[in-house]
Structure 1
Amino acid sequence: MSQQTRTNTPGFGWAVLTTSLAFVVAQLDVSIVNIALPEIAKAYHADISTLQWIIDAYTLAFAVLMLSAGSLSDLLGSKKIFQIGLIVFGIASAGCGLAPDALTLIIFRIAQGVGAAMMIPSSLALLNHQFAHTPQLRTRAVGLWTAAGSSALVAGPTIGGLLIAFSNWRYIFIVNIPICIIGYVLSFKMEQTAKTNKKSFDVAGQLIWMLSVTTLISVIIEVPRLGFSNALIWGGLILSVLLFGIFLWIESRVAHPMLPFHLFKSGQFNALLVLGAVLNGSYYGTVFILSLYLQKVLNYPSLIAGFAFLPLTVGFVISNVISSRIINRYGIRKPIVAGLIMFAVGFAGLFIAYEHTPYIQLFLPFLSIPMGMGLAVPAMTNGILSSVDKTLSGTASAILNTSRQTAGAIGVAVFGAMAAGGSVSILGAVSKSATISIGLTALALFLVTRSVKK
């Protein structure tokens, strides 16, 4: 390594801060919008289907483009993709803040998803490259990166409530712009990552994947409006499955697939992908429902509803702070198992949610769910990174985050569909979402205990 390279190499804190800023804005915009849904509905006279699209337009674009972004990250270098992602996300956030109608907001939410898809796998690849030679340091760095993103995810409703109370809902998007600018400036000191030997980009695979997932999410969102027996619904489901089959066929034949099948030979890799999907699908869908429950059923103002989510932030911070020490001492399996048990216990606590439930009864579930997730996610991420060559870390990160974001979009769509009939439906959706989440967590726990090494 040259003297110049050593001089330009960022320190531990600099590298973690730079990559974490991107994860913060990406995760913040998953949840901060939830608390603003009633205000957005008033501003645009939007129904619940439109509100679902405002949420899912972001997570959907995030999910369907993640694989391509990870592949580009390995092909062109993570630093370049990371910087472009920050620029796209900042510009799209300004567009969201200035959107004159719901359609324009949805379009810019898609653009935000494009930027986020570029930032996340590349930021994790940058961290993996920086600390690949020191596994314990990488574990600590990934833990702090995860803590920053997780804290932003759960702090979103609280921050959103404050911004709405003291300004208006448009500032929930404007707040991203200075963070993107700071991250972009800091990124120039980051090292460029090693590139793969790929010579081409899998265009056909990306297009078919995008159509398959978009069709599936669209169908789920439109079920309450069209009805499950509608021919368009069934046609969409069949089309989505056929497109996914074509996608797998393409990936098995192209020279440089964006989804390398050899990564799936590891049972641990597969189990961790399922785990990521369960965590995000359950969490995103439930937070969407709880945002409506607090404001539409318990009649909390947006500021109070935002503060009601504060235990979620505290739970994530506590578990993420201690997660790296636990992983270094016990490996990844025990933290994941403990985290999943806490995750399920938290959802079980939501069965007490009724029309006049005191907030104190919701406090423990609101604390237990993120604490469990905060223990499991860093261990899961380290398990994924350690199972692949560092030249494929961008792709591996993209596959993990694709499964998570796709599941998150499906969770919002499915749980939102259960809440489409007003306050009574919202109340029922809380217990239904808890039941589904507990079942999925049990499945993840079974797979983890069978497949994940200590």
Structure 2
Amino acid sequence: MYAVKKSEISFGFVVGTTSLAFVVSQLDVSIVNVALPQIGRSFTADVSTLQWIVDAYTIAFAVLMLSAGGMSDLFGSKRLFQAGLLVFGLASIGCGLAWSPLALIGFRAIQGAGSAIMIPSSLSILNHMFSAEPNKRSRAVSLWTAAGGVSIAAGPVLGGLLMQISNWRMIFLVNIPICLIGILCSIKLKESAGNENRGFDIPGQLIWMLAITALIAAIIEWHHLGTNSPFIYGGMIFSAGMLGLFVWREKKARAPILPLDLFKSTNFNVLIGVGMVLNGTYYGTVFILSLYLQNVLNYSSIAAGMAFLPLTAGFIISNLTSGKLMQKYGIRVPILIGLFIFSMGCFCLLIAGPNTPYWQLLVPFLALPLGMGLAVPAMTTGTLATVDRNRSGIASAVLNTTRQAAGAVGVALFGAMATGGTTAIVQAIMISSVSTGACVLLYTILVFTYLKNN
């Protein structure tokens, strides 16, 4: 429990402080996309290298978050929250000063580690503070996800503006004041009680890291090396073997980083799937749309950034609407509506061609964030509701780990399809529009069948 009464700290202060972690982590997912062509020219980097710059962050995020969730439950949320902000801020300085593509990839991985530390702890703080007040918790999570949703949509806009003023390095340095504000504000937060029954499963962490990294690496290098390359099929086989070994290890471990009993809940499983489907399709789509706007339609960086402005508006509207729908109908309705709208947005991207006017892109550019913004707050709230509050850190970690892993896979797959010039980028949008739209629509039916209101 917290050392002082929860009422001593205002609702807005707690939500605002914890949301800063989600803001910088999601901002860095999307702000980089609009800078990719300029980074590529600066370092003479190909699409594969650009994929690594994006995915180094999400891979580190995905492979370390499970352990970070356990650490949050063990040592307390506040300490982990502050440590994550510090690591992220220092890594952002390194990204801004990077002297080579390899250095930038390395610092991006450290940024991902910082995000992995601070995201589960920030959500755990909210869950602890408002665990006795379900409506207030739903509202807090909605505002938390709204902040992240707006930042991921605003990233390309902010990135375009910063590069117009300066260059791509500024998109990383802008994180520093946000991290400093977060650390200073977090001093007023109260520490949660640690769960002394938790420990660390170092072998499990290493196996998980090898499994995810091998999978993403094989997908990214697939276009260059071909499916007949030992690196590609060997990486896939190795990853599958490591995933099997990971499940076996977690069954035997005294303190697993992924408690398998979480998956006994049908709601938990369905909600984790929602996060994976949405992140995988959204991250991959935004990646190739950034290439499409600048390399096919020949938009400048500032014009490409402004083109993503409808995404920001869509996330603001839908995230706030999701909280109201949850209070009235529970988690099912906003998730179902959100998934359906998102799938329609995917299908609408079929209009994207070599000379498509921007006004025709407005419908999918609005539908994607509207759908995702409706579903994500309800998905997050529902996931936390399936566990006791002293396990909220690990539940949050599992949710965000699977989402980031799916996002990394999405970027790798869509990026592989977009390799080969403007024609390949347009074809990639066509293929991904149909496949992702159908995938999300089918999952909507699955959610309708199995998901129950908490």
TM range (shorter): over 0.9
Q: Within 2, Cα distance between the matches of 1:253 and 1:442?
A: 37
Match of 2:258 in 1: 259
Q: Within 2, Cα distance between the matches of 1:265 and 1:189?
A: 37
Match of 2:43 in 1: 44
Match of 1:383 in 2: 382
Match of 1:276 in 2: 275
In structure 2, list runs of 5 or more residues that go unmatched.
none
Match of 1:172 in 2: 171
Q: Within 1, Cα distance between the matches of 2:30 and 2:173?
A: 15
**Partner deviation per Cα, 1:284-337 (whole Å, 9 max, x = no partner):** 000000000000000000100000000001000001111111100010001100
1:188 positional shift:
1.1
Match of 2:295 in 1: 296
Q: Structure 2 matches for 1:67-216, cutoff 5 A?
A: 67-216=66-215
Partner of 1:32: helix, strand, or coil?
helix
In structure 1, what residue type is equivalent to 2:112? G
Residues 1:451 and 1:414: Cα distance change in structure 2 (over 3 Å): same
Match of 1:431 in 2: 430
In structure 2, what residue type is equivalent to 1:148? A
**Partner deviation per Cα, 1:228-279 (whole Å, 9 max, x = no partner):** 1112111110000001111100000011111111110011100001110000
Is the aligned partner of 1:5 residue 2:16? no
Match of 1:226 in 2: 225
In structure 2, what residue type is equivalent to 1:287? V
In structure 1, list runs of 5 or more residues that go unmatched.
none
Residues 1:210 and 1:9: Cα distance change in structure 2 (over 3 Å): farther
1:189 positional shift:
1.2
Is the Cα–Cα contact under 8 Å of residues 201 and 257 in structure 2 kept in the other structure?
A: yes
Is the aligned partner of 1:392 residue 2:391? yes
Match of 2:401 in 1: 402
In structure 1, what residue type is equivalent to 2:67? S
Q: Within 1, Cα distance between the matches of 2:272 and 2:15?
A: 24
Is the Cα–Cα contact under 8 Å of residues 201 and 255 in structure 2 kept in the other structure?
A: yes
Match of 1:243 in 2: 242
Q: Within 2, Cα distance between the matches of 1:362 and 1:433?
A: 16
Match of 1:343 in 2: 342
Residues 1:189 and 1:224: Cα distance change in structure 2 (over 3 Å): same
In structure 2, what residue type is equivalent to 1:129? H
Is the Cα–Cα contact under 8 Å of residues 130 and 191 in structure 1 kept in the other structure?
A: no
In angstroms, what is the RMSD of aligned CA positions? Answer: 1.2
TM-score by length of 1: 0.98
Is the aligned partner of 1:26 residue 2:18? no
How many matched pairs? 453
Q: Within 1, Cα distance between the matches of 2:418 and 2:174?
A: 30
1:156 positional shift:
0.4
- Percent identity of equivalent pairs: 57
1:444 positional shift:
2.0
TM-score by length of 2: 0.98
Partner of 2:4: helix, strand, or coil?
helix
**Partner deviation per Cα, 1:128-180 (whole Å, 9 max, x = no partner):** 00111100000000000000001000110000000001111100000000000
Match of 1:372 in 2: 371
Is the Cα–Cα contact under 8 Å of residues 6 and 129 in structure 2 kept in the other structure?
A: no
Residues 1:89 and 1:9: Cα distance change in structure 2 (over 3 Å): farther
Residues 1:127 and 1:7: Cα distance change in structure 2 (over 3 Å): closer
Q: Within 2, Cα distance between the matches of 1:44 and 1:382?
A: 42
1:447 positional shift:
2.2
Q: Within 2, Cα distance between the matches of 1:170 and 1:182?
A: 21
